Structure formats: structure tokens, C-alpha cells
């Protein structure tokens, strides 16, 4: 559904490439310009916690070396998707990749998403469909 929302949010055709299984089948590229790294939780209700093992953070860093931008999509079951660009991700998970770190997403009814991580928190809240704009930022 997140990939479909990206396609529907674009003013022009979108090319989505599935990156090989090296990335645990969780990475895609949009028009060969933006890397996407997806994390999903089946937990129904807020707060949602996403574990980032050292390898997962390394994947995001490798994608950043290849693409102009990397957007990490945190899929909160059927509630919605939080998209973090690379700079936002580094505010809550710094450059020191530990064995396991976490990101916590919470949202009250009819409010925006609050995001915190092992190494900090975002000083602003994130809109429900913000991830579409971030994934298409270099493609419009």
C-alpha cells in the first residue's frame, strides 16, 4: 500500500525497483534516485516500536552512498506510514551503530506521529502521508 501511495502521488510515471535480497528484501529504489528502506510492525495500536539491528542501519547507510536520498518507511500496521529522510533518521539513530537500537512511533487519535529513537527524538511531528512527498522529492 505504501508503494502504491507513492505511485499515485507522483505527477509522472514511477519506476520502482526491488533491490536484491542482500537488503533482507526490504529495500527499493524510486526512479533510481531515492532509496527506500521498509520496516513493518503487525502491532495494531500505538506505540509502535521498530528494532534496528546494526545490519539494518548499515543497509540504510549503504543505500545513502548509492542514492541522492534514502527514506526509511516505518509501516505502523494499518494505521499509517511514517517516512524519515536520512537526516531525520540520523537525529534519532546516530552514526554509532550498536547491535540493536530502536525507533518508537506514537500517535493519538486524529493527531500527527511523534517519533523517538535510541539516540534522540524529532522536535516536530510527522504527517500521515508525508512519506509520499519525501520518496518523490528528487523525482518530480
d(CA 22, CA 6) in angstroms, rounded, equals: 23
Does the pLDDT value for residue 21 go beyond 80?
Answer: no
d(CA 109, CA 50) in angstroms, rounded, equals: 20
By the 8 A CB rule, do 42 and 74 touch? no
Tens of pLDDT along 57-102? 999 999 999 998 999 999 999 999 999 999 999 999 988 888 999 9
Q: What is the pLDDT of residue 139?
A: 57
Amino acid at each position: 500500500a505504501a508503494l502504491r501511495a507513492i505511485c499515485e502521488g507522483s505527477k509522472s510515471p514511477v519506476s520502482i525497483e526491488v533491490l536484491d535480497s542482500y537488503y533482507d528484501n526490504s529495500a527499493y529504489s524510486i526512479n533510481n534516485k531515492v532509496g527506500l528502506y521498509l520496516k513493518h510492525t503487525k502491532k495494531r495500536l500505538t506505540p509502535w516500536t521498530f528494532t534496528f539491528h546494526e545490519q539494518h542501519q548499515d543497509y540504510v547507510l549503504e543505500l545513502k552512498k548509492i542514492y541522492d536520498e534514502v527514506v526509511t518507511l516505518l509501516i505502523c500496521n494499518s494505521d499509517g506510514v511514517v517516512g524519515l529522510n536520512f537526516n531525520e533518521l540520523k537525529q534519532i539513530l546516530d552514526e554509532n551503530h550498536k547491535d540493536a537500537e530502536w525507533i518508537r512511533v506514537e500517535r493519538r487519535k486524529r493527531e500527527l506521529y511523534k517519533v523517538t529513537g535510541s539516540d534522540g527524538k524529532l522536535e516536530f511531528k510527522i504527517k500521515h502521508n508525508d512519506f509520499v512527498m519525501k520518496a518523490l522529492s528528487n523525482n518530480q
